[in-house]
Amino acid sequence: MIEKEIPFEIKRIYYIYGVPTDSVRGEHRHFKTVHALICLKGSLEIYANNGKTEENFVLDRPDRGLIVPPEDWHSMYNWSKDAFLLVLASEYYDPAEYIAEAYP
């Protein structure tokens, strides 16, 4: 059961789909929101930078996900045409919670 694997209380659930293959989404970090990203169909790539390390991840299986801590500036790119991303968040939506500046 997925709810037993998520290391936070889920306060928000949303989907991202129908994204053009050459689009980049995200490009931000947060003050306190943690995300769990699960690609239910298709594939996409995630770039994450916490100010000390940078990593790239491929999400292409519905039985695996990625936990994105608030300090990770992240972007989502290389979307397949059929990509369907499930996002579980630890906080309710708040525009003041977003930090658009990337790490130097």
E-strand spans in 1-104? 12-17, 25-30, 35-41, 44-49, 54-59, 66-68, 73-77, 84-89, 98-99
Per-residue burial over 33-57, b if 16 or more Cβ lie within 10 Å, else e, is bbbbbbbeebebebbbbbeeeeeeb
28 an active-site residue? yes
Question: Pick the catalytic residue: 28, 30, 35, 74?
Answer: 28
Active-site amino acid positions = 28
